[in-house]
Chain A
Amino acid sequence: MAENEKIKKVSIIISKGSLEGVYPGLIMANGARMEGIETMVFFTFFGLDAIVKKRMNKLKVATVGNPAMHIPTLIGALPGMSAFATSMMKKEMEKLDIPPVDEFIEMIHDAGAKLYACKATVEMFHLAKDDFTEEVDDIINVGTFYELSAGAQIIFT
């Protein structure tokens, strides 16, 4: 890629299923479309939860094993801590006009981004097309992911 050349296409992988694991990828994807960049998002492993209908709005912030939370691991493990941190974070995001996951997925889809589920994970978790939100374009394997990503910058989150 030539120096200072505008990015034309991005391919974003979302591999984590915590709230803080999913949102960065969604914000990057939406932001790319806002800049007129062709965008695809590939959901793999626990990242699939972001597009599974019954789970997408129940994602939680991980309060254990995350030093940047600035609370001791043992406190983070107390019942309700994750729910509390999740609710706090959602409030802050709402202030910034960052939508809940289902609405965000719809927005990114309406913005013209393509959304794909990883076939290997779908099989591993025994999921089917019906489990996914309707905005998902397809369930694809890794080979297809790379084919569709031709010419794209690949971002792993």
Chain B
Amino acid sequence: MATETMNVTFDADGYLADHNEWNEDLARELAREEGIEELTDMHWKVINFMRKDYIENGAVPTIRRLKKAGGIPTKELYSLFPDGPAKKAARIAGLPKPKGCV
């Protein structure tokens, strides 16, 4: 994987061990690993909100919170990050694996 050469550490689940090591190039690389070839403005809106919310509240936002506080419609979230939006978006945003059930 390309991320192996980027000199950052991942946890056992494959998520960035320290979110401070995150940068936009890394996000693009992680997105490609998740099958997302190009990050659009909408992708960045999700990623930036997730990072801001995580840094402010210490928890990866839920899909409900992404909608209510982040203004990202659930349908759109699923089309931006197919097959597992919360986990994929968190990984690309350099955050830990989401822990909640919703």
Verify A97–B102 contact, CB threshold 8 A: yes
A33 interface contact, C-beta 8 A: yes
Chain A residues 1-58 with CB under 8 Å of chain B are 27, 30-31, 33-36
Please give the number of chain A residues whose Cβ is less than 8 angstroms from any Cβ of chain B in the complex. Answer: 17
Residue pairs across A and B with CB atoms within 8 Å: the count is 45
Q: Which of A73-81, A106-114, A120-128 makes up part of the contact surface?
A: A106-114
In the complex, per-residue mask of A93-133: 1 if CB is within 8 Å of any chain B CB, else 0: 00011110001001100111000000000000000000000
Taken together as a complex, chains A and B put the C-alpha atoms of A27 and B75 apart, in Å, by: 17
Taken together as a complex, chains A and B put the C-alpha atoms of A35 and B63 apart, in Å, by: 12
Chain B residues 12-61 with CB under 8 Å of chain A are none
Residue of A nearest to B82 (CB): A36
B93 interface contact, C-beta 8 A: no
Taken together as a complex, chains A and B put the C-alpha atoms of A103 and B62 apart, in Å, by: 14
Verify B102–A98 contact, CB threshold 8 A: yes
Residue from A36, A97, A103 in contact with B83 in the complex, judged by beta carbons closer than 8 Å: A36
Give the interface size class of chain B: 10 to 19
Chain A residues 53-100 with CB under 8 Å of chain B are 96-99
Complex contacts, A31 vs chain B, CB 8 Å? 101-102
Residue from B74, B75, B85, B100 in contact with A96 in the complex, judged by beta carbons closer than 8 Å: B100
Taken together as a complex, chains A and B put the C-alpha atoms of A94 and B74 apart, in Å, by: 18
The distance from the CB of A36 to the nearest CB of chain B, in whole angstroms, is 3
The distance from the CB of B34 to the nearest CB of chain A, in whole angstroms, is 11
Verify A111–B102 contact, CB threshold 8 A: no
Verify B63–A107 contact, CB threshold 8 A: yes
Verify B100–A33 contact, CB threshold 8 A: no
Chain B residues 59-102 with CB under 8 Å of chain A are 62-65, 67, 73-75, 78, 82-87, 100-102
Other A-B pairs beyond A36-B83, A97-B100, 17, CB < 8 Å: A30-B102, A31-B102, A34-B84, A34-B85, A34-B87, A35-B87, A97-B62, A98-B101, A98-B102, A99-B64, A107-B63, A107-B64, A107-B74, A110-B78, A111-B63, A111-B74, A111-B75
For the complex of A and B, list the 5 residue pairs with the smallest distance between their C-beta atoms, beginning with the closest. A36-B83, A110-B74, A36-B84, A110-B75, A97-B62
